[in-house]
Chain A
């Protein structure tokens, strides 16, 4: 199946896994990519934005306000007959879940691929949830390639698969693959689909009578999806001898093969990169081996399924401690799981100290937190509800300024709930991009409910933590949004977070935090990183 597409290879380029998906999607003939930035998925969309060919062919690629708007726009493009890619990090799929699950019920027209980058070990995330669970939940095909080249090939393949099945396809990768480079060969580009939007209300109007029929169709398709998995080039056996076989999912295959190569092992390894599970292939491995090691990067999703509730005595994996229950796998943990002795290595010297990340020297958030800390220190209750972005680093020394960070937009809504409970003052700190992602609706709730809280929007004119992507709104547009939502003019104020403005910023924040109503203070100062980048490269888009 793979060879049909990939007989004519282009020159080898060194690409991040994320970029390999982007190139695969471009060569697969997408008409648009929709995404909200989130580590480790950001580089997929950035690659397409910077790609000359994509611009020449009008592949639409600007950032979306959040993952839900991104997913729905991608579904709309697919509805209109064209191929669309939508990208997000794992927790972004929580935001887009409503659209994702229901798009499996409607099905798609043009190929729709959702590339989701999980972050096991939580390098840049608040959890390590496994997106394969969502794929199973939505009952759609999931592809989980093991190398950068496979990511490219799978991205192309996923569009054909999606179009032939009329279902969205989930392409899952994890941090290591997203942020690791390797040589990737492309193939000739497929032309984009023509506009073709058939009237199909019986599929796309999910009123109960249609939804029931569509859901039955989805259930009936499951055998067909399994058949695809049985024959997929992403599921293959590395033959071997020995009583222990390995079922290696996605990138876990690499660690298994690394150990197999380094120690000269000969265990059979069944590589899984296409779900639902290929039952026959797995049965064959189970019948040939006494013990099976299940190596999954992420949750023990399939280990649990294969064990069943009571059985699975011959299964080893994350659930019995053979592999660590949490965090990324690596060749060392897999070697131990395969019964190899732990290596003697030089320990980290005792003088070592941690070096946590910090706000950049000269960053406006530093000046904001200095002012805010002064104001809050005059209050007995000094809780600050915050959000996800560079300003989350205000949780660390020397500021220790914020007390919550849960999910995108939760600063405002949690402050609202705490205010409703009687907490005074209730203060939220949120960035410009996070505010437009999912802070605006929470602010509307607070206004409608007259919850006394102060929302500080740290507007640095960019989505800074992920590397400086355009925000959906900043500057004067943020003021207009707040006005439109109903913030009173007298309590919609701006400050410039600079050392030279410290005294007046303390005074202004003090007033608004003391006021019993909804107030918004926008701290406006450009991110020093993006400012420096513009200075170095004036031609770069402002």
Chain B
């Protein structure tokens, strides 16, 4: 078993929290993990990405080779497209549709959606809306993790346990809110899967 995931977003959007949950769950499941992330200048509102690799055997490279990512999980729609060369032919895109515009020339949303649909049944999520319903816009990340859960190669329960472990220190309310957000994302993803 080997899963290659590219996490994408804009510096400050918190993709590393998503990575931390998956990392933790994988390690708890006795799997090997490699997760490369971006620190430094790009974190100031630039494009950021994390290469996350999980396997039941030794992993050599911290970076994912082109054309071998099973999943691009993006918290911003344009950023999902930035890493298309990494996507495997049967790879999946799961992305938030909430755009983050902090530069000139941001493409029209319909063009972005059109490009996303060039891949195999992308899962498009209004993460902001589901997060607000769960209790806070800040849970958008967990909405996205939930939406991607069916493609991560681990049981949703394992991911939920990791959310509980990692948010424990912030109190029961915040933990529950993040679990709600995760489940909302997961439900939407399943709904889209049955619709297609």
Q: Which residues of A contact B (CB under 8 A)?
A: 12, 14, 39-40, 42-43, 123-124, 176-177, 179-183, 251, 253-255, 257-258, 261-262, 330-332, 335, 343-349, 351-360, 390, 393, 397, 465-467
Contacts and interface: CB of A to CB of B under 8 A. Distances in A.
A355 B47 contact: yes
Interface string B19-41: 00001100100001111111111
Interface in B34-71: 34-47, 51, 59-63, 65-68
B16 to A, nearest CB: 10
Contact of B44 (A255, A390, A397): A390
A180 B60 contact: no
26 contacts: A14-B27, A39-B40, A40-B40, A124-B41, A176-B62, A180-B37, A181-B23, A182-B34, A183-B33, A253-B60, A254-B62, A258-B61, A262-B65, A344-B67, A345-B87, A346-B67, A346-B85, A346-B119, A352-B107, A353-B106, A355-B47, A356-B46, A357-B41, A357-B45, A397-B104, A465-B40
Given A258-B61, A345-B67, A346-B85, A179 B103 contact: no
| Top-4 shortest CB links A-B | A124-B40, A357-B46, A39-B40, A258-B61
B40 A330 contact: no
Interface of B: 10-12, 23-24, 27, 32-47, 51, 59-63, 65-68, 78-79, 81-82, 84-87, 102-107, 111-112, 115, 118-119
| B42, B62, B67, B111 pick with most chain A CB within 10 angstroms | B62
Given A352-B81, A355-B47, A390-B44, A123 B38 contact: yes
Nearest to B52: A181
Contacts of B119: 346
A12 B84 CA distance: 33
A362 B32 CA distance: 41
Given A353-B105, A355-B10, A357-B45, A180 B40 contact: no
Contact of B84 (A179, A331, A348): A348
A388 B59 CA distance: 36
Contact of A345 (B51, B66, B78): B66
Contact of B45 (A177, A183, A360, A467): A360
Contact of A258 (B27, B40, B65, B85): B65
Contacts of B12: 360
Given A14-B24, A351-B107, A180 B85 contact: no
A182 B33 CA distance: 5
A39 to B, nearest CB: 4
Given A180-B34, A343-B67, A123 B40 contact: yes
B27 A466 contact: no
Given A14-B23, A343-B66, A356-B103, A348 B60 contact: no
Nearest to A16: B37
Nearest to B119: A346
Contacts of B51: 180
A173 to B, nearest CB: 12
Nearest to B86: A345
Contact of B33 (A14, A254, A255): A14
Given A12-B27, A262-B65, A183 B32 contact: yes
B65 A335 contact: yes
B45 A358 contact: yes
Given A39-B39, A39-B40, A179-B39, A257 B82 contact: no
A331 B40 contact: no
B44 A393 contact: yes
| A347, A351, A360 pick with most chain B CB within 10 angstroms | A351
